[in-house]
Amino acid sequence: MATKCGNCGPGYSTPLEAMKGPREEIVYLPCIYRNTGTEAPDYLATVDVDPKSPQYCQVIEPKDIHAKCELAFLHTSHCLASGEVMISSLGDVKGNGKGGFVLLDAETFEVKGTWERRGGAAPLGYDFWYQPRHNVMISTEWAAPNVLRDGFNPADVEAGLYGSHLYVWDWQRHEIVQTLSLKDGLIPLEIRFLHNPDAAQGFVGCALSSTIQRFYKNEGGTWSVEKVIQVPPKKVKGWLLPEMPGLITDILLSLDDRFLYFSNWLHGDLRQYDISDPQRPRLTGQLFVGGSIVKGGPVQVLEDQELKSQPEPLVVKGKRVAGGPQMIQLSLDGKRLYVTTSLYSAWDKQFYPDLIREGSVMLQVDVDTVKGGLKLNPNFLVDFGKEPLGPALAHELRYPGGDCSSDIWI
């Protein structure tokens, strides 16, 4: 059954059973005001996504989630079968790189300690996923918080300060047993095993290299990785660098392990791939929802291996969408994809200053699960620029009972 915290969550016996679950009615999104000019604490927004509700597409319950904590730069959380919550970290309290994991009591949220053995943290951290039937966890890395917190500096890439490795952990012994170097794999961020708990493979999105890498278990028990998707950079004028990467910032898999989705935050497109053959993903859907290369913007595309012309700006319900597709979440049945447009406030400020002034948005995309394909729902828009205290930046999306990017079966 799916791991869950205490008695919460539906506890579907298999991923395929979860696909038969009820339609989502609310979505939780953490929102921040940092770098926006508004002095206010972070908060948790509850958004109504029930088309039959009179509050459809509205923030219905903001909750203050600001609290003092000595833990540093936390990112991904997963529930464990032990009744604990495990959270990855990017660094220590001084902002240096440290890829460790914090354990919390699932009921009281009391800090219980670290998951890894003392002194056994990875050099850098970000995301993780575990697969107990194979006694394995794999973690990713971005950069030390001191490197990325004020924005992106190309010199830091040349200096080797951004991550390019996956760390394979022994799930029972809580220690690193293998380090995988990624070819064309700078900044491996989000990682996903296939949902089938017997599967010994999955995918990771490498942001700066704009690649999707497949990792898999060998017959001898070691792990390997191979590039299976490459988003080519675009030669541009009027941007930070002469070439613009797609910048893959989020990925997820449908619960039946048929489709892979990811977002190109800079290029501005969402993509859907059929992964029936995981070694040869096939592009089945693509949709532009903003981005840095839209017509009429400051960036001119000089050479493009994929597009014949720059995409049109996206306008939904009269609002021009700032930013690009970033965090994504799929409905349990795989028919609706939700997306937000903010990455990290300092990077938002650098690459999409309109986001800081106007706030981010939440959009919904209809998914063709038969032939493949993505189509924007023109009637769905949550505008976080209209929040009571001022424009806010909404980030990841979560359902109350579990979803495609948090549930793990054991």
Cα–Cα distance between 164 and 213 in angstroms, integer?
12
Q: What percent of the chain has pLDDT over 90?
A: 85
What phi-psi label fits residue 119: left (phi over 0), alpha (psi between -120 and 50 degrees) or beta?
A: left
pLDDT at 38 over 90: no
At 1, the pLDDT band (50, 70, 90 cuts) reads very low
How far, in Å, are 119, 302, 349, 367, 406 from residue 273 at the CA level? Answer: 40, 27, 31, 12, 20
Q: Which two tokens stand for residue 189?
A: 């961020």
CA nearest to 29, candidates 395, 399, 400, 402: 395
Residue type, 330: L
Q: How many CA atoms lie within 13 A of 346 on its CB side?
A: 9
Residues whose CB is less than 8 angstroms from the CB of residue 66 and which lie 6 or more positions away in sequence, other chains included = 41, 42, 43
Res. 2: pLDDT tops 70: no
Q: Report yes or no: 296 and 311 within 8 Å, Cβ to Cβ.
A: no
Q: Give residue 62's pLDDT band: very low, low, confident or very high (50, 70, 90).
A: low
Residue pair 340/397 in contact by the 8 Å Cβ criterion? yes
Phi-psi region of 279 (alpha: psi -120 to 50; beta: other; left: phi over 0): alpha
Q: Is the pLDDT of residue 3 over 60?
A: no
Cα 209 to chain centroid distance, Å, stands at 16
Question: What pLDDT, on a 0 to 100 scale, did the predictor assign at position 284?
Answer: 98
| Dist. CA 367–CA 385, nearest whole Å | 27
Integer CA distances (angstroms), 16 to 1, 21, 57, 256, 259, in order:
11, 9, 28, 6, 14
Average pLDDT over residues 127-154: 97
CA–CA gap between residue 214 and residue 278 (Å, rounded): 8
pLDDT at 90: 95
Question: How far, in Å, are 41, 42, 43, 71 from residue 67 at the CA level?
Answer: 9, 9, 10, 11
Mean pLDDT of 364-382: 97
Residue 365's alpha-carbon distances to 21, 57, 377, in angstroms, are 19, 13, 5
Residue 36 has pLDDT above 80, yes or no: no
Given this model, what pLDDT does residue 74 score? 85
d(CA 217, CA 198): 12
pTM of the full structure = 0.94
- pLDDT value for 72: 61
Least confident of 38-42, 75-79, 103-107: 38-42
Strand partners, 259: 274
| pLDDT computed for residue 66 by the predictor | 39
Which of 97, 67, 72 lies closest to 87, judged by CA? 72
**What local confidence, expressed as pLDDT, does residue 41 receive?**
82
CB 5 within 8 A of CB 85: yes
In this structure, what token pair is assigned to residue 41?
């604490």
Examine the pLDDT at 40 and tell me if it is beyond 70.
Answer: yes
**Mean pLDDT for the stretch of residues 114-130:** 96
- Please determine, for residue 73, whether its predicted confidence score (pLDDT) is greater than 90: no
Mean pLDDT of the chain: 93
- Of 2-11, 117-126, 266-275, where does mean pLDDT reach its minimum? 2-11
pLDDT of residue 107: 87
What proportion of the chain, given as a percentage, has pLDDT over 70? 95
**Rounded Cα gap, residues 247 and 241, in angstroms:** 13
- Model confidence at 64: pLDDT above 70: no
How does strand 259-264 pair with strand 188-193?
A: unpaired
Least confident among 9-18, 112-121, 154-163, 356-365: 9-18
pLDDT over threshold 80, residue 340: yes
Range of weakest confidence among 22-26, 165-169, 398-402: 398-402
DSSP letter at 298 equals S
